[in-house]
Amino acid sequence: IATTPEQEAQMGDREYHRMLQQFQGDILPSDHTACRTVRRVGERLRMASRTFAESNPTARLSTAPHTFTVVRSEQANAFVLPNNHVFVLTGLFRYVKNEDELVAVLGHEMAHNLARHAGEKISGNLVLGMLGRLLYFLDGSGVLSLFFSQFGALFHELPNSREAECEADHIGIHLAAEACYDPRAAKRVFASMKEEATSEKGTSQRRPPEFLSTHPSHDHRLSNFDDWMPAALDIFHSDGGTKCERIRRDMRAARIVAVQER
């Protein structure tokens, strides 16, 4: 990776402040129910991320405190910037109906940071950019450079993007289980997204074949969850399920208190 964790953190901080400006006026107050929910589950995921990083030498978790920003928007999206800046757009709540399902999405996004996927993408783009400029120097017409840009997208950028998404899916359900959220919720969320991607007549809307997409196909994703779920459930049910039963009982109590304080 061409970038250092410190450089990625600085880029994340700059983008965070830019996003705050972009969403100005649509950011929900910190005492809003949605903000409290995101912050509550986000803190549990933060602790799970720390546990994961301690047992996986290739993972890296910034020591900076997490920020949680919820934005009023029709768009269904969530993302985590380097240096632990979490954003949730309220359109996402069309797909996530409970905390387990919210964690399925946030765990996936936090996993991108743990795996330093932003740094990997920047590094890959730097290499492709250097090679593209070299080809332009060798062939001033730009034909070779144009061909290489298309070749690079098809055989480097897109496969790497799909690989990163699969890795984030895998780490994400591990984080969910470690935080005592049901990892099976991930499959429900992505199945819901697949269903919306299906037309009213029951036929899938046109989408590019997987090898031309930055994300795995819905079916590939759901199949992966089936393969990974036994290991995730082992974590969820560790200690005979005693630990997570107690924690989930505390979660229910916290939700009741949050409703009463509205």
| Residue that the structure tokens 């007549």 belong to | 201
Task: Return phi, psi of residue 174, to 5°.
Answer: -65, -45
213 Cβ partners below 8 Å, 6+ apart? 158, 162, 207
Task: List, by residue number, the catalytic residues.
Answer: 109
For helices 143-152 and 117-138, angle between their N-to-C axes, nearest 10 degrees = 160
What's the CA gap between 180 and 187, in Å, rounded? 16
43 Cβ partners below 8 Å, 6+ apart? 66
Please report the DSSP string for 132-185 in residue order: HHHHHHH-TTSHHHHHHHHHHIIIIIHHHHHHHHHHHHHHHHHHHHHTT--TTH
Token digits of residue 252: 């229910």
Question: For the sheet containing 85-90, what is the strand order?
Answer: 67-71, 85-90, 76-81
Residue 144 has, within 13 A of its CA and on its CB side, a CA count of: 11
